[in-house]
Chain A
Amino acid sequence: MTPRRKRLTAVILVLAGVSVAAVLALRAFRDSVVLYYTPTELVAGKANGKRAVRLGGMVTKGSIVRQPGSLALKFEVTDFVRTVTVHYSGVLPDLFREGQGVVVHGSLKNGEFMADEVLAKHDEKYMPPNMAGKMPPPPGA
């Protein structure tokens, strides 16, 4: 091969590789974007699809109900306008507490939220997005 053709081959190889990578990346990107909703938005039917979403809000005080003898539990997540019941089974993160912010991942089923993941936010001052400013200040702050 002449140097010119070699360079051409190299350039074509690189371009082909980059385009394959770009196509795959864009597909993965579309599939793994997770939308985030507040309880109000969720109740309003903004997330009526099969895809998993994130729901953020406050855990309502006194709403945690455990099923004896198993890891299953349910609790309510609120933005002080609407409230959604969340079902989850598994070990909860350290900072999961009543009256504190939480983000759960899962999907809506018959009006209730089936969570497969409760996210640990490692800061007790953490507020779910869109909640700051809408919430009463935490006691003592």
Chain B
Amino acid sequence: MTAELGQIALILALCLTIAQAVFGLVGAARGWDNWMAVVRPATVGQAGFVVLAFLLLASAFLANDFSVQYVAMNSNSQLPTLYRVAAVWGAHEGSMLLWATILALWSCAVALLSRSLPLAFASRVLAVLGIISAGILLFILLTSNPFIRLVPAPFDGNDLNPLLQDPALAMHPPILYTGYVGFAVAFAFACAAMIEGRLDQAWARWTRPWTTVAWLFLTIGITLGSWWAYYELGWGGWWMWDPVENASFMPWLAGTALIHSLAVTEKRGLFRSWTLLLALFAFSLSLLGTFLVRSGIIVSVHAFASDPLRGVFILGLLALFILGALTLYAWRAGQLRSSAGFELWSRESFLLFNNILLVIAASLILLGTLYPLLLALMKLGTISVGPPYFQLVFLIPVIPLVTLLIVGMHAAWKRARLAPVKRRLVSIALAGVIAAVLLSLTFGGRPRTLVFVGLALAVAAMLSALSVPFDHLRRRVTIPRGVLGMSVAHFGVGLFTLGATVASAYQVERDVSLGMGQSANVAGYDFRLTDLRSVEGPNYAAREADVVITDAGGRVVTVLHPQKRVYRVQQQPMTEAGINVSWRRDLFVALGEDLGNGVWSLRLQYKPLIRYLWLGSLCMALGGLIAATDRRYRIALARERVDTDTVAERA
């Protein structure tokens, strides 16, 4: 019964989203309060039904109901309970349902927390969210229904892809989608403002916390994905510039530009039409990312062609949402132009350049990601664009971006007044250069300009970010959360740059073949293979090695236990790397394969400071969290509530 109930719940949710959209738009346009009053209950109702459908699918997984095709394809009676829950979003149909569920939860949150907004505006925001929900639910029901029955039901399921049987990857999709889909709220706020033809600083203040929260989830999601790729794909890379990764990174870049541009719009009322455009871009790129990953077009253009309905449907939705929003923009943006001016070395300028650089980075990555797909679709040959392109087009904007960040944090709004902070900036720059010299000497090797620049910028960014709260302390003024959040996030940028630069420049990687008792040396550490044995997991069998690592002084650092697993159902081999973590470096061992005669191939790696790049990303997310909880948003909400109440009394 669960599958049928799930199906019915989705259909009811679809009906309610249509009500949400129609009553919201028409009610707000005509000023009919009784129509607008329907919007909030409809939103909460549809969210309830979508969540119900999601829970029903999860219960089918927990009950091992293999008569449901999706469950049979992605689960197994031997699968541990945690991964049975994660298997709900382990493949296409369930991922789309997760997408819809998260959108429903965001819509529900907007419905419940928007009581302070003018009723017409809130109705329009919810109506736009309703249109998006309706599109996605229609897509699920028509092309990707997870509730289809399988007759006859198989005795056992096909198991979850072994790559996905991992705690970090179990959490990765929900967190990533919370970020992706969260930009739908900023998109809806932008569309509502354009329909109304009114965009003031209050609008930016409403939009900002929502956007920041979405952005911080996206940041954590991408970080988890990178961390997972590092240890679970088995080969120690943390970013491959794979189209799937780019699909999540492009909305992040646009979202980062958006939160910076919103700051200017809120504080100074500037960049209005640009902020709107960025809100549209951020969500459009999220949708594009969903399309790229979910249509199968990346794995192979033929996978796209073999199930054209799905791909064409998402492409249609994409076109509808993006073209619809851009048409609205073309029609309305002219009325929203801002008039105030600012000087060249003011904070506005720095944020303007930040936006330009982020948008350039996003566009160049978009070009590199889509170009091979376009060529393949037009049958002009099969090519791939390699990591060197992405590395370069990412570095070109990022070096000036971090430089601007170091200075821009101390620039004043509106006026060019950098003179008072000149001494501080000079000492930060000096400290950065000295630290870069010391770090280069510590890690040794051939000096390289780019590495040196990276190190100096990283340290200077961290110091510059730290100096902001210290300055407040020294002057004995309380630091607003918004400023503290900015400082923490920018410290994270520095930490990330440090980790990424050092890990890329000074890593050592060796493929070796080792017999029992033999050893190999990597970066001064001695890796010795001492034992090999068979171990049994709940749904896999594995060969496990003992690798004893000793440092240059002959002291034992650690014993690592890398595994080569074979999952029973799918008979797929999987590499579980052994990793020793410390604040200075990671030591990484992956088992390759049995070369015969007890000799195995192994990949040994030394990755200095690699932890800092994930730590830095988490700092950025933490900064977002601190900034989003700034009191001024709550005070603003409370004040507006009083205003609307008095208006209501008068009316």
Chain A residues close to B by CB (< 8 Å): 3, 6, 9-10, 14, 17-18, 20-21, 24-25, 28-29, 31-36, 54, 66, 68-71, 89-95, 120, 122-124, 126-127, 129-130, 132-133
Chain B residues close to A by CB (< 8 Å): 163, 233-235, 299-302, 306, 341, 343-344, 349, 353, 356, 360, 364, 367-368, 371, 376, 381-389, 392-393, 396-397, 400, 511-513, 570, 572-575, 590, 592-593, 595-596, 599, 601-603
- A129 and B575 contact, CB distance less than 8 A: no
Known contacts: A25-B364, A124-B570. The answer to whether A3 contacts B341 by CB under 8 A is yes
- Rounded to whole Å, the gap between the CB of A87 and the closest CB of chain B is 15
- A94 and B234 contact, CB distance less than 8 A: yes
CA distance A133 to B593 in the complex (A): 31
CA distance A121 to B349 in the complex (A): 45
- B383 and A129 contact, CB distance less than 8 A: no
- Rounded to whole Å, the gap between the CB of A51 and the closest CB of chain B is 11
- Rounded to whole Å, the gap between the CB of B231 and the closest CB of chain A is 14
Give the interface centre of A29, A35, A124 by most chain B CB atoms within 10 Å.
Answer: A29
- B383 and A66 contact, CB distance less than 8 A: no
| Nearest neighbor of A37 in chain B, beta-carbon distance | B382
Q: Which residues of A contact B299 (CB under 8 A)?
A: 123, 126
Partner of B574, one of A25, A94, A132: A94
- B513 and A69 contact, CB distance less than 8 A: yes
Q: Which residues of B contact A126 (CB under 8 A)?
A: 299-300
- A21 and B360 contact, CB distance less than 8 A: yes
| Nearest neighbor of B604 in chain A, beta-carbon distance | A91
Known contacts: A34-B384, A129-B376, A129-B382. The answer to whether A91 contacts B601 by CB under 8 A is yes
Q: Which residues of B contact A21 (CB under 8 A)?
A: 360, 364, 393, 396-397
Q: Which residues of B contact A14 (CB under 8 A)?
A: 353, 356
- Rounded to whole Å, the gap between the CB of A27 and the closest CB of chain B is 8
| Nearest neighbor of B356 in chain A, beta-carbon distance | A14
- B575 and A94 contact, CB distance less than 8 A: yes
| Nearest neighbor of A119 in chain B, beta-carbon distance | B384
- A28 and B389 contact, CB distance less than 8 A: yes
- B572 and A24 contact, CB distance less than 8 A: no
12 additional contacts (CB under 8 A) given A127-B300, A133-B302: A3-B341, A14-B353, A17-B400, A18-B356, A18-B360, A33-B389, A36-B384, A91-B592, A94-B572, A124-B572, A126-B299, A129-B302
| Contacts between the two chains (Cβ within 8 Å), count | 116
Known contacts: A66-B595, A91-B603, A94-B572. The answer to whether A35 contacts B300 by CB under 8 A is no
Q: Which residues of B contact A68 (CB under 8 A)?
A: 596
- B383 and A35 contact, CB distance less than 8 A: yes
Known contacts: A3-B341, A29-B368, A34-B383. The answer to whether A92 contacts B302 by CB under 8 A is no
- Rounded to whole Å, the gap between the CB of B82 and the closest CB of chain A is 21
- Rounded to whole Å, the gap between the CB of B406 and the closest CB of chain A is 18
- Rounded to whole Å, the gap between the CB of A52 and the closest CB of chain B is 9
- B593 and A32 contact, CB distance less than 8 A: no
- A132 and B302 contact, CB distance less than 8 A: yes
| Nearest neighbor of A123 in chain B, beta-carbon distance | B299
Q: Which residues of B contact A92 (CB under 8 A)?
A: 592-593, 601
Known contacts: A6-B344, A94-B575, A127-B302. The answer to whether A36 contacts B386 by CB under 8 A is no
Q: Which residues of A contact B306 (CB under 8 A)?
A: 132
Q: For the complex, would chain B's binding face be called helix, strand, loop or mixed by DSSP majority?
A: mixed
11 pairs across A/B with beta carbons < 8 Å? A10-B344, A24-B396, A25-B396, A33-B383, A34-B385, A71-B595, A71-B601, A91-B601, A94-B574, A126-B299, A127-B302
Q: Which residues of A contact B300 (CB under 8 A)?
A: 126-127, 129, 132
- Rounded to whole Å, the gap between the CB of A90 and the closest CB of chain B is 4
Q: Which residues of B contact A6 (CB under 8 A)?
A: 343-344
Known contacts: A70-B513, A95-B572. The answer to whether A32 contacts B386 by CB under 8 A is yes
Known contacts: A32-B388, A66-B595, A129-B382. The answer to whether A25 contacts B393 by CB under 8 A is yes
- B396 and A91 contact, CB distance less than 8 A: no
| Nearest neighbor of A35 in chain B, beta-carbon distance | B383
Q: Which residues of A contact B343 (CB under 8 A)?
A: 6
Q: Which residues of B contact A29 (CB under 8 A)?
A: 367-368, 371, 385, 389, 393
| Nearest neighbor of A124 in chain B, beta-carbon distance | B572
Known contacts: A71-B511, A94-B574, A129-B301. The answer to whether A54 contacts B384 by CB under 8 A is yes
Q: Which residues of B contact A93 (CB under 8 A)?
A: 235
CA distance A91 to B397 in the complex (A): 35
CA distance A137 to B409 in the complex (A): 60
CA distance A69 to B387 in the complex (A): 32
Q: Which residues of A contact B364 (CB under 8 A)?
A: 21, 25
CA distance A25 to B596 in the complex (A): 47
- A17 and B356 contact, CB distance less than 8 A: yes
- A10 and B389 contact, CB distance less than 8 A: no
| Nearest neighbor of B384 in chain A, beta-carbon distance | A34
| Nearest neighbor of B305 in chain A, beta-carbon distance | A132
| Nearest neighbor of A21 in chain B, beta-carbon distance | B396
Q: Which residues of B contact A132 (CB under 8 A)?
A: 300, 302, 306
CA distance A94 to B573 in the complex (A): 6
- Rounded to whole Å, the gap between the CB of B407 and the closest CB of chain A is 15
Q: Which residues of A contact B590 (CB under 8 A)?
A: 91
Q: Which residues of A contact B376 (CB under 8 A)?
A: 129
- Rounded to whole Å, the gap between the CB of B418 and the closest CB of chain A is 15
- Rounded to whole Å, the gap between the CB of A16 and the closest CB of chain B is 12
| Nearest neighbor of B352 in chain A, beta-carbon distance | A10
Q: Which residues of A contact B599 (CB under 8 A)?
A: 69
- Rounded to whole Å, the gap between the CB of B404 and the closest CB of chain A is 11
- Rounded to whole Å, the gap between the CB of A18 and the closest CB of chain B is 7
CA distance A21 to B599 in the complex (A): 49
CA distance A28 to B590 in the complex (A): 32
Q: Which residues of A contact B389 (CB under 8 A)?
A: 25, 28-29, 31-33
Partner of B388, one of A31, A70, A89: A31
| 10 cross-chain pairs, A with B, having the tightest CB-CB distances, nearest first | A91-B592, A32-B389, A36-B382, A32-B386, A28-B392, A32-B388, A132-B302, A90-B511, A94-B573, A28-B389
Q: Which residues of A contact B386 (CB under 8 A)?
A: 32-34
Q: Which residues of A contact B388 (CB under 8 A)?
A: 28, 31-32
